[in-house]
Amino acid sequence: MKKSKVIVPIMIVVAILATIMLNQDEYNEVTMINKILITIGAAIVSSVVGYFILGVDVDKVDPKTNNHEVKNKKGNRK
């Protein structure tokens, strides 16, 4: 699995949550351009953090086993 399959949804979720939080009544003084910049910045920072947290290869987290390997393991039992 490629990192982009995980990082892009993280960016979208963070951008949506940032937009929801900035549209509350507490942040009326913040201009629209600053809200947009904060949202974009949050999405970029979250994607960079996610990129480094995922490591080099995402497939190594939970490698898939083949049926052939499972049969060999069962056949070696004594």
Number of domains in the chain: 1
Taking only the tens place, the pLDDT of each residue in 32-70 is 999 999 999 999 999 999 888 877 655 565 666 676 655
Q: 40 is in which domain, residue-wise?
A: 4-75
Distance CA 48, CA 66 (A): 33
The encoded tokens of residue 69 equal 């390997």
Mean pLDDT of the chain: 81
- Token match 């809200």: residue? 35
Q: What is the DSSP letter of 1?
A: -
Which residue in 52, 11, 19 sits closest to 36, CA to CA?
Answer: 19
